[in-house]
Chain A
Amino acid sequence: MNGVLTLATAGRVLRQLSHDPRSIALMLVAPSLLVGLFAWLFSDQEGVFDQFGGPILALFPFIVMFLITSITTLRERRSGTLERLMTTPIAKADFIVGYGLAFGLMATLQAVITVTFAVWVCGLQVDGPLWQLGLVAVVDAILGTALGLLASAFARTEFQAVQFMPLIVFPQIILGGLFMPREDMPEALYQISKILPLSYAIDTINAVTDGDEGWEVFGPLLIVVAFAVGALILASLTLRRRTP
């Protein structure tokens, strides 16, 4: 790995994005609109938005980054640019970390805008520090990027890549503790929820909004980080210099 090539790749990915202002606008604004919709929906029920608003902040960066990454890297695999890159001195880690940096930066912007909107406009009650909420959103985005990279290896077409979302993302949302506390789930589902990374992301968010400190917050967050690193390592194994 070589820092110059990693940064060159991250710069290239951001430059590509800059030619597509509509995607940037969607990425930055859409989550706020949906958070606003939720706040409006529960506006007559005291305290409900405070319960759901936090976990929703964890979902958007994850879903959006999963989709964007799986489709852009699939495009690289299919267009021949990945094959060309593999004939140059760039290391696989440069490629993957380059993507991670570029989308991580976009995710940070998205998190700042969405958290700001949720707290200042929608009045989300957060007992812990706001920066922690932003940090969870960024880590979630990186998890989405990592899983997206991995999923792109198993899709042959953009159509298939999009179909991976219900398969990989929805079960994590359903079992993550958003609809029902995980402890109250049937035993088998509770056990499954323990091996899904988004469960820990939602745990972290709930810890922050409840004003918990220390390991209550950073324990589950570290687990999310570990899942993201694991997915990135697996994704790098699916990048091959030689293909059949």
Chain B
Amino acid sequence: MSVRGLHVTRGRTEVFTGLDLHIPRGQITGLLGPSGCGKTTLMRSIVGVQKVAGGDVTVLGEPAGSRALRKRVAYDTQAASVYGDLTIQQNLRYFARLVDAPRTDVDRVIEQVGLADQRDQTIDSLSGGQESRVSLAVAMLGVPELLVLDEPTVGLDPLLRAELWEVFRGLADAGATLIVSSHVMDEALRCDRLVLMRAGRIIADTTPDGLFADTGTTDPDAAFLTLIERDANARAAAEAPHPLTRREAREQAEHAHHADEGSAS
């Protein structure tokens, strides 16, 4: 999966101006960053539903969104995109037909997301966490070679999160490539690679060990804050070569203070 010179505008805001990224096959890549930094737009570009203003996105050797990829790439949107008035089983049966997955897959994915007891309930009667698990189950139908999962574990309890990450690991071990976005930093440790984004730019493309070595901490939140801090300072220095005003100096000091607190916790 490679992105070259990606340029995306949404409304009047420029989300990306020349984004470059390479994601290796057969690994779990975590896409991390504060909300609004462009994670979802990047994922939409990879699955080919985002209108792009320029640049190339190549997925599994084909241009993103091309017909040949529609069975090979699975996408789970951030909001649960399933039919609220259908049961879990009816939803999965419909999507299984669309991606030409065998009917037995329906039972498999229901088991994998731990909803076997609710299979005949309508989505509207489920809790938010259960609903997003159904949406995730849809993405696991068939044998997708690339799974693009937008915050699949948001709002789930730690036990369930751990179980789902084991499922993800199993898919990767079987040869699939996964791109998983999250803003829960401890999930970063479960990924093979980490891509950290901020304000439409990639500020780090590393591994969990690399991230800790680079930032000199073992706390994912603190490491992330350190990188954001570093990036913000570098930008400020590049954009404002004039000496810091008192207010800017004070704000920076406050930021540094917060970051220190983060690493102490």
Chain A residues at the B interface, C-beta cutoff of 8 Å: 4-5, 8-9, 11-12, 15-16, 19-20, 79-81, 83-90, 240-244
Contact = CB atoms under 8 A, between A and B. Distances in A.
Contact of A80 (B50, B65, B79): B79
B98 A16 contact: no
Binding site secondary structure of chain B: loop
B75 A242 contact: no
Nearest to B73: A87
B86 interface: yes
Nearest to B9: A244
B94 A12 contact: yes
Contact of A19 (B51, B75, B86, B99): B86
B86 A88 contact: no
Interface string B115-141: 000000010000000000000001000
A240 B85 CA distance: 24
Nearest to B11: A244
B120 to A, nearest CB: 12
Contacts of B74: 87
Given A242-B49, A243-B49, 14 more contacts: A8-B98, A16-B86, A19-B85, A80-B77, A81-B81, A83-B81, A86-B49, A87-B73, A89-B98, A241-B49, A241-B65, A242-B48, A242-B50, A244-B11
Interface residues of B, number: 33
B212 interface: no
Nearest to A15: B90
A242 B53 CA distance: 12
Contacts of A242: 48-52, 65
27 contacts: A4-B97, A5-B97, A8-B94, A8-B98, A9-B94, A12-B83, A12-B86, A12-B94, A19-B86, A79-B81, A80-B79, A80-B80, A81-B82, A83-B49, A84-B77, A87-B70, A87-B73, A87-B75, A88-B71, A88-B95, A89-B67, A89-B98, A89-B99, A90-B98, A242-B49, A242-B52, A243-B49
A84 B95 CA distance: 10
A115 B58 CA distance: 57
A240 B86 CA distance: 25
Contacts of A240: 51
A48 to B, nearest CB: 42
B47 interface: yes
Contacts of B86: 12, 15-16, 19
Interface in B191-237: none
Which 6 A-B pairs give the minimum distances between C-beta atoms? A80-B81, A8-B97, A84-B81, A88-B98, A242-B51, A89-B70
Interface string B43-80: 00001111110000000000001010011011101011
Contact of A244 (B10, B94, B122, B138): B10
Given A5-B97, A19-B85, A19-B86, A84 B48 contact: no
Contacts of A15: 86, 90
Contacts of B51: 240, 242-244
A243 B41 CA distance: 11
B85 A16 contact: yes
Contacts of B49: 83, 86-87, 241-243
A90 to B, nearest CB: 5
A140 to B, nearest CB: 26
Nearest to B74: A87
A243 B50 contact: yes
A85 B67 CA distance: 13
A6 to B, nearest CB: 11
B14 interface: no
A240 to B, nearest CB: 8
Contacts of A9: 94
Contacts of B173: none
Interface in B80-106: 80-86, 90, 94-95, 97-100
Contact of A12 (B10, B71, B90): B90
Nearest to A5: B98
A114 B85 CA distance: 28
A85 to B, nearest CB: 7
A83 B65 CA distance: 12
A84 B75 contact: yes
A94 B27 CA distance: 34
Nearest to B10: A244
Given A12-B90, A83-B77, A242-B49, A89 B100 contact: yes
Contact of A88 (B10, B84, B90, B99): B99
Nearest to B124: A19
Contacts of B138: 84
Contact of A85 (B50, B85, B98, B122): B98
